[in-house]
Amino acid sequence: MYIAAVFLPLIGSLIAGMIAFVAQGAVRAEDTERKKRLDLASQLITCGAMLLASVAAILVFIAVVVNGQNGTVELFTWVDSGSLEFSWELRGDTLAVLMVTMVTVVSSMIHIYSIGYMSHDGSIPRFMGYMGLFSFFMLMLVSANNLVQLFFGWEGVGLCSYLLIGFWYDRPSANAAAIKAFVVNRIGDFGFALGIFACFFLFDSVSYDTIFSEAAAKSTATMNVFSGEFHALTIICLLLFLGAMGKSAQLGLHVWLPDAMEGPTPVSALIHAATMVTAGVFMVARMSPLFEYSDVALTVVTLIGASTAIFAATVGCVQNDIKRVIAYSTVSQLGYMFFALGVSAYSAGMFHLITHAFFKALLFLGAGSVIHAMSDEQDMRKMGGLYKLIPATYVLMWIGSLALAGIWPFSGFFSKDIILEAAWGAHTGIGQYAFWLGITAAFLTAFYSWRLIIMTFHGESRADEKTLAHVHESPKVMILPLVVLALGALFVGILSVDYFVGEHTVEFWKNSIFVLDTHKALENAHHVPIWVKFLPLVVGIGGIALAYLMYMFAPELPKALASGFQRTYQFLLNKWYFDELYDKIFVKPAFYLGRGFWKAGDGLLIDGVGPDGVAAAVQHLARRAAAMQSGYLYHYAFAMLLGVAFLVTWFLVAGA
Amino acid sequence: MPLATLPTLTPALPEIFLAIASMLLLMLGVFSSEENNTRTVSYASVLVLIVAIPFVGLVTEGRTVTFGGAFVTDTFAVYIKALVLVSAATAIIMSKDYLKIQGIERFEFPVLIVLATLGMMMMISANDLIALYLGLELQSLSLYVIASFQRDSARSAEAGLKYFVLGALASGLLLYGMSMIYGFAGTTSFDTLANIFHDAHGHVSVGVIVGIVFMLAGLAFKVSAVPFHMWTPDVYEGAPTPVTALFAVAPKIAAMGLFIRVMVGPFGELGAQWQQIIIFISVASMLLGAFAAINQTNIKRLMAYSSIGHMGYALIGLAVAGTAGDAALQALGVQSMLIYLGIYMFMNIGTFACILLMKRDGRMVEGIDDLAGLSKSNPGLAMILSIFMFSMAGIPPLAGFLGKLYVFQAAIQAELYALAVIGVLASVVGAYYYIRIIKVMYFDDPVDELDRGISLEMKAILVVTGVVIVFFVFYPVPLLTGAESATAALFHK
C-alpha cells in the first residue's frame, strides 16, 4: 500500500511523459482531435494515479498512526560497498506517513485543478508529467530512511521546480526565474551535501536508525574543520540547515521563491504548499535527534526563522502582484515553522506545516481562479469589485485568508497559536525575540491578507472594459478542489490539534520526533499567561481592522503614507534590496569573472591549445589510425605477426 | 579397466541439449514447408536458446569436472553462458526482418547461430587446452559462415573470407602456443598446469612464456584487441547487420570469459609475466578505439571501433587480476570485468537494435548521416538511441558510466594509475563520436525520413535494454551479486 502511495505518481508521470515526448511528437500539427485525446488521457492518468495514491496514503496513515503498525518497507539494497550500505526503503513512522498523506492529498487537488487552469495550454501532457514527477520526488524525500535517498528526493524536487518554473520556456523572465531557483537551491544543496558527508564521517553510516541511535553517544564528539576543533553535531546541523534554508526559502536564500511565480499558478501552489518548501522544515524535524544536541544550531534556526517571518511580512504589505503577496506570506509562514523547530517545538512546526499546506494551496489556487477570470491579469491595482462576479472564489479566498491570519476556528489559528506560545514558553532570550517578531508578523499577515481581499474584490473596478466583459466564475473542475482544500483549512486544525500538540501528542508522534527532556517549550506552551494566549488573535483582528480602515474607508491613506515615508516604502517595495545586493556582490562579479575566464582562459588558452592544438592532433591521429585499415588481408596478417613478434621480444628482453 | 566407462554427463547437460537440439532444428528446417521454414526454425532456435538458460542455471554453487577433467562447470561459467545465450537469442530475433529485406531467408542461419553458441559454451567450460581449442573452432567455423551469409554481396563474402583467413592465422598462433606449453610443461590440463606453476613459484622456462604469449595473441584476436583487431572494422561493416550485432556481443563475451579462465586459472601464478602484456593490449585498444572511430561515416564500422575500445576497458579488469599474490585484488579485477561485460551486452544489443531499424523505402541504410533529423521524424527511437550513446560514452548516471567506474576503481586499487588515467582520457576522446551521433539526430537538418514502424519484438528489446541501462543505478544488485558469485568460483577451489 505504501509502495502504491509513493510510486503511483511516478507511473502516472512516466506515462504522461511518454505521451508528451513520444506520442505527441508523432501527431501532426493539424490533427487537433488526436492531440486533444492525448491531452485528456494524460490528465486522466496523472490525476487518477494521484487520487489512488492519496487513498493508499490515507490507508497507510490509518494503519501506522491509528493502529500503530510499523509501516517501514524495504524495497531492495541500493549500495553495499564497504561500510557504506543502504537500501531503497520507505520509512513508516508518523512523521513520514503524515507527510506522505499531506503531499498526496494536496497534490491530487492541485492536479485536478490544473485540468481546468491549463486547459488552453499547448503542452498539457508535459505539464502533467512534470507535476506528477514533482510529487513523486517529494514523496521519495519524505519517505526516505537514509540520507542518500533523502538527497535523491531533495535534488529531484530541485530539478522539477526548475522544469516547472521555466515551464513557459519561451518567456525570458520564466527562464531567469527557473535558473535563479536552481542556482540558489544549489547553494543550499552544497551545504546539505557536506552535511551528509559529515554525518557519514561521524557515524560511519547514512541510515537514520543508526544515526539516531548513536546521536546521544556522539553528543560530545568534535570534528576538525579548517584545522579547528568544533562540536561535531553543531557542524552537521548547521550544514544541514543551510540546505533547509535553500529549499525552504529562509532569509538570505529566499530570493528564488517570489520569482518562482513565473511558473503556472498550480505550480506555485504545489511548490508553496505540498512540495519543495516544506522539505526543509520536514528535514529539520526528521533530524531532531541531532538538532536536539546542538544548542547553537537550534539558536541559529530560531534566529533565522523569526527574522524571515518578519522580513517577509513587511515586504508582503506593499506588493501589488496578487501572487507575490501570497508568495511572501509563504516565506513568512515558513519562518514561523522554523522558529518553532528552533525552540524544540517540532510538533508545533509540523502542525503549522500541515495546516499551512491546506490554506496556502487554497489561497494560491483561489488567486489562480482570480487570474483566470481576469484574463491573466495579476496586478491588484487593476482589479477591484470582483466579489459580485466571482462569488465562489470570493468566499473561498475569505476562508483561506481567515486561516492564514489565524482567526478562530480556522486551522491557522491553532497552529500559529501554539508556535507563538511555545516561543514564549522556551523562556530564553531568543525565544522572546521570536515571540515578539512573530506577534508583529501576525499583525502584518492579517493586514496584507485583507489588503489583498479588499483590493481584489471590493471597491470600484479598475480593470478595462474588455477584461471585465470576460470575467467569469471558474469551471467546476477548478472550484471543487478548492472546496476540498477549504474544508481542510476549516477543520484540520480544530480536529487534530489535540493529536499534534495537545494531550494525545505522545501516542500520535510515537518515536518519530525526539525532544530532550530539558527542552520544555511545548510543555510550557500550555501554561502561558492568558494575554499571551489571546495576543495573536487580537493582533490578527487588529490587522484586519487596519486593512479595512486603509483600503476600504480611507483609500487615500495608503498613498499618503507611501509618499510620506518614501524611503521606507521604497525599501519594502524593493524587498529590502536583497536582489540588488546579491546582484552587486555575487552576480556581477561572477559575470566579470566568467567574462575573464571566457576571453582569456577559454578563448586564448583552451581554444589555442584545444581546437587548434589537441583537437587538431586528434583529427590527425584519427586519420592515421583509419589509414592503417588498408583493407588488404596481408597487411592485417602482417600486423598480427608483427604484434606477436613485438610481444615475444619484449618478454625475452624485459623478462630476462 | 573397461574401455568405455561413460563419463558423468550431467555437468554438460546444457551443451548436450544444444547439440541435439541443433540437429533437430536442421531436420525441422529441411522437413517443414519451404515458405516459412526460416520463421519456424528461427522461433524454435530462440526457444531452444532460452530453454538452455535454466539448464545452465542448474549449477548453483561449487565446481564440477567431467570428461576426465577436460570440462568444468561452475558459477563463473553460468554467468558468462547466461550472457552469451541471451545475446545469441536476441541476435536471432533481431535478424528476422533483416533477412527478409535482403532476401537471404535461409533456415540455416539460426541453426548456425545455435551451433556457434554451443561452441562458445564449450570454450567457456573448457578445462583443458584441447577442449578449449575444440570449442573455439566450433564457434569460429560457424561464425565464418554466417559472416558471409549474404553470399551474393561482395562485401559480405569479403568479410567472411577475411575473417576466415585471419581467424585461421590466429588459431595457428593459439595452437602453436599450446604446443609450446605442452612441450615444456608436459600436460594440457588446466588444473595440472596450475599446480605445476604454483610449485614453480613463478620461475618457468622461456618456452612456457613464449607459449603464453602466442596463446594470448590468439585469444586477443577473438576479443579483437589491438594489435590483433585489424579484421574487426572490415568484418563488422561487410557482414549482415544482425551478424555484426551477434559478433559484437556473444563471441566477445565468450572469448573474454575464456580469456579470464585461462589467465587466472592455469597461468594465475604467472601474473607477473603476463600482466604487462594485458596492460599494453588494453591501453592500445582503448586508444585505438577512441581515435580511429572519429572519422567514420558508417555506423557499423563505428561500432567496430567502439567495441575495440570497450574490450580495452574490460581488459583493465584482467590486468588487475594479474596482480601477483593478492587474491582479493585479483577477484576485484575479475568482478569489475564481469560487470562491465554484462553492461556492455545490454548497451550493444540496444544499439544494434536501433541500427537494424534504420531503413529507408524498405532498404537498409548504414550511414551516420542517415540519422539526421531523427528526433523530429521518430522521437522515441532518437531518444532511446541517445540513451545508449550517452551510456557508451560513460555519462552518469547511466549503466555505461558505472561499468567504467567499476573497472577504473579496480585499477586504482591495484595501483595501476596509468591505466586508469589513460582509460579516462580515452573515454573523453571516445565521447566525441558517441555524442556526435546524438548531435546528428537532434541538431542536423533532416534528410529523407527513415521508415516508421517497429515490430513488437524490436520494441520489446529496445525497451528492456533501455530500462536496464537507465535504471541500473537504482537496482544494480542482480548483476553485482551474479558477478560476485561468478568470481568466487574462480578463486575458491
What are A537-548's pLDDT values in tens digits? 999 999 999 988
Helix, strand or coil for residue A346?
helix
CB A412 within 8 A of CB A405: yes
Q: pLDDT-derived band of residue A78, with 50, 70 and 90 as boundaries?
A: confident
- Among A87, A647, A649, the strongest candidate for a mutation testing the B interface, having the largest count of B CBs within 10 A, is A647
- Helices A124-143 and A2-18 meet at what angle, rounded to 10? 150
Check residues A82 and A192 and name the one with the higher pLDDT.
A192
Q: Give the closest residue to A366 by CA, choosing from A454, A487, A447, A481.
A: A481
What are A86-143's pLDDT values in tens digits? 888 899 889 999 999 999 999 999 999 999 888 888 888 899 999 999 999 999 999 9
Question: What is the pLDDT at residue A28?
Answer: 66
Mean pLDDT, chain A, rounded, equals 87
Q: pLDDT-derived band of residue A462, with 50, 70 and 90 as boundaries?
A: confident
pLDDT > 70? residue A233:
yes
Question: What is the pLDDT at residue A149?
Answer: 92
In chain B, count of helices (H) and strands (E)?
19, 4
DSSP secondary-structure letter at A11? H
The Cα-based distances of B473 to A6, A453, B31 in angstroms read 19, 50, 48
Residue A655 to residue B273, Cβ atoms within 8 A: yes
Please tell me the distance in Å from A235's CA to the nearest CA on chain B. Answer: 30
Question: What is the pLDDT at residue B493?
Answer: 55
Strand partners, A228: A225
CB A99 within 8 A of CB A142: yes
CA closest to B221 among chain A residues = A640
Question: What is the pLDDT at residue A26?
Answer: 66
Helix, strand or coil for residue A85?
strand
Distance in angstroms (rounded) separating the CA atoms of residues A109 and B345: 45
Contacts of B435 (CB under 8 A, 6+ apart): B389, B390, B393
Phi-psi region of B360 (alpha: psi -120 to 50; beta: other; left: phi over 0): beta
- Among A14, A76, A644, the strongest candidate for a mutation testing the B interface, having the largest count of B CBs within 10 A, is A644
Task: State the cell numbers at B482.
Answer: 551474479
Question: What is the pLDDT at residue A29?
Answer: 66
Mean pLDDT of A568-584: 80
Helix, strand or coil for residue A321?
strand
Q: Is B202 on the interface with A (CB under 8 A)?
A: no
Question: What is the pLDDT at residue A653?
Answer: 79
Contacts of A636 in chain B (CB under 8 A): 162, 166, 230-231
pLDDT > 70? residue A656:
no
Q: Give percent helix, percent strand, percent coil of chain B, each to the nearest 5.
A: 75, 5, 20
What are A348-399's pLDDT values in tens digits? 999 999 999 999 999 999 999 998 888 888 888 888 888 888 888 999 999 9
Question: What is the pLDDT at residue A496?
Answer: 87
The upper half-sphere exposure of residue B110, i.e. CA atoms within 13 Å in the direction of its Cβ, equals: 34
Q: Which of A90-94, A290-294, A575-579 has the lowest mean pLDDT?
A: A575-579
Helix, strand or coil for residue A201?
helix
H-type helices in B357-450, by residue range? 374-377, 379-393, 399-413, 417-443
pTM: 0.76
**Residue % of chain A over a pLDDT of 70:** 98
What are A137-192's pLDDT values in tens digits? 999 999 999 999 999 999 999 999 999 999 998 889 899 999 999 988 988 999 99
Please tell me the distance in Å from A64's CA to the nearest CA on chain B. Answer: 27
Helix, strand or coil for residue B241?
helix
CA angle B7–B10–B14, rounded 5-degree value: 120
- Among A140, A614, A640, the strongest candidate for a mutation testing the B interface, having the largest count of B CBs within 10 A, is A640
pLDDT > 70? residue A486:
yes
The string of DSSP letters for A220-259 reads: T-EEEETTEEEEHHHHHHHHHHHHHHHHTT-TTS-THHHH
Phi-psi region of A7 (alpha: psi -120 to 50; beta: other; left: phi over 0): alpha
The Cα-based distances of A463 to A17, A383, B305, B416 in angstroms read 39, 5, 68, 74
Element (H, E) at A110: helix A94-117
Question: What is the pLDDT at residue B127?
Answer: 92
One-letter amino acid for residue A222 of the chain: T
Question: What is the pLDDT at residue A579?
Answer: 80
CB A102 within 8 A of CB A274: yes
Residue A644 to residue B206, Cβ atoms within 8 A: no
Question: Residue written as cell 546579491?
Answer: A582
What are B227-279's pLDDT values in tens digits? 899 999 999 999 999 999 999 999 999 999 999 999 998 888 888 888 888 99
Using only C-alpha atoms, chain B has a radius of gyration, in whole angstroms, of 22
Residue A21 to residue B379, Cβ atoms within 8 A: yes
Question: Residue written as cell 521518430?
Answer: B378
Contacts of A628 in chain B (CB under 8 A): 230, 292
Residues in chain B where the model's pLDDT stays below 70: 1-4, 60-61, 202, 492-493
Chain A segment 438-477 residues within 8 A of B by beta carbon are: none
Alpha-carbon dihedral sign for residues B50, B52, B54, B59: negative
Question: What is the pLDDT at residue B347?
Answer: 95
pLDDT > 80? residue A626:
no
Mean pLDDT of A426-435: 90
A544-560 b/e (C-beta count within 10 Å ≥ 16 → b)? bebbbebbeeeeeebee
pLDDT > 80? residue A82:
no
Question: What is the pLDDT at residue A25?
Answer: 66
Q: Give the closest residue to B227 by CA, choosing from B140, B287, B295.
A: B287
